[in-house]
Chains A and B, each alone.
Chain A
């Protein structure tokens, strides 16, 4: 293809996106579009799978049968999200094995929030309420993103994430309506998860490398700072409803802007965790790598068995 031809294709492509048409796997797409989407969708898929671990940590210790069942189902939903997203990613011409390899080698990133430990039961409430809450804010705009398989996966995912968010809030509510110990547990969880949740919405706009291109492709419809403000505005009244305090002395309603003003985020902490030095980065990676390595003989056996069966069928016919 000549340079001119590629340029023409690119123009047609950008015009389709501008008209809100969906791009499908078989359509022509610029290499950069493909790569950017592989990166973002796989990061998202990895986050779902790594995200199973901090909550999985409390399945065996859930305080009631009802809560245990709800938590198991939630963590299982996250596995399902991982599955749809890996499938969406595979439509861009990369295999699941390659995607795992990128995760296990540390080449691919995942959401940093999952590198914090879950130390009490209240963390199951705080994660659902804040982390799934922030995820929804990030993801709802993606239901209209330009790449068809991703947009469709996000519609399903978002429905379940809002259910998770309500479930998490409901755990917090039970704690806040409970004993002094329970209420203290809820406050402690908010203290620990508040700032990492704000960081989940990404670095400040000035430092965000991908924003402009991503906006054009509808991979992003609002900037990180806008999303963060939306999250804070939505969450602070919920904390008030619960009767617990957001751990930010600078947090204040601003009559003029119609938004909450908030304090300085510790970006050094953010980058430390992103670079692999958070409290649980190593544990999370080890857990994934172990599960994968210990599962090798099982996956090999399943393949060998399927082959044997195929041969039998072939011989019989």
Chain B
């Protein structure tokens, strides 16, 4: 592949949308009420839409007749580059919204910066995506505030979720090798520089939600390098089931 770094860079962004979309897809029909069910499905649909744009571009870069579905369904677990945060399970609604919130704030900052990429296709995707993501961020931060500053029970549950997910936030700001090369080429975003704004925004919302900002200094990483949590294999078993059971067919 001529442009392997760009290919890997795109997957590094796209895999987050794919895996988070898949997690939200599990919830469709099981939400706490119809309105949130519909809203979460909307977010899932947006994320899959983004995934497709990125993968179609990546497939084009890769050449050799590769398709978006080959990239989505036919890689080994070690080849998926999503962060650990997005693969965390839907333990309860606090985790669902907490995961969404902690990702959305990052995602919005990333899309803002990606609009200044020197790669036109990525700019076009970022411009479309940023509208969707600002809606997601508003939705998830509103819910974090509602659950944080709701009842005693909801405050406890939301805090539990934020504490549980916090160790996965730092990975968002780590640069992979492909990131570094793409940053120096003017294509990629230096995500390490997003951390300050991220912590500021997240702290503001948590404060408004009467939640404590976790103090833990211990973080987890590995997703970006393809070393995932034990949850990932099961998620992929579902995701890949049809393509693995019936190879080389059209659907």
Interface residues of A (CB under 8 A from B): 49, 52-53, 56, 59-69, 72-73, 75-76, 79-80, 82-83, 86, 121, 171, 174-175, 177-179, 181-182, 287, 290-292, 294-305, 308
Contact = CB atoms under 8 A, between A and B. Distances in A.
A121 B242 contact: yes
A101 B151 CA distance: 23
14 contacts: A63-B243, A65-B55, A65-B72, A72-B41, A76-B41, A79-B41, A86-B34, A174-B251, A297-B93, A298-B32, A302-B146, A304-B151, A305-B145, A305-B147
A79 B246 contact: no
A230 B26 CA distance: 37
Contact of A297 (B55, B151, B241): B151
B80 to A, nearest CB: 15
Q: Which 9 residue pairs of A and B lie closest in terms of their CB atoms, listed nearest first?
A: A295-B32, A301-B150, A301-B154, A63-B242, A52-B29, A56-B29, A63-B251, A298-B32, A60-B238
Contact of A68 (B31, B48, B145): B48
A182 B251 CA distance: 9
A73 B45 contact: yes
A294 B32 contact: yes
B150 A49 contact: no
A207 B242 CA distance: 43
B246 A297 contact: no
B28 A298 contact: no
Output the residue of A181, A299, A305 with the most chain B CB within 10 A. Answer: A305
A175 B251 CA distance: 7
A59 B26 contact: yes
Contacts, number: 139
Output the residue of A86, A301, A302 with the most chain B CB within 10 A. Answer: A301
B215 interface: no
Nearest to A76: B41
Nearest to B243: A63
A83 B38 contact: yes
A76 B29 CA distance: 8
Interface string B8-38: 0000000000000010011011111111111
A52 B242 CA distance: 21
Interface residues of B, number: 47
B230 interface: no
Given A287-B29, A300-B151, A179 B38 contact: no
B151 A63 contact: no
Interface in B230-251: 238-239, 241-243, 246, 249-251
A62 B45 CA distance: 14
Interface in B187-240: 238-239
Contacts of A303: 150
B42 interface: yes
B68 A65 contact: yes
Contact of A64 (B32, B150, B251): B251
Output the residue of A82, A296, A297, A300 with the most chain B CB within 10 A. Answer: A297
Nearest to A80: B38
A69 B68 CA distance: 13
A231 B38 CA distance: 31
B81 interface: no
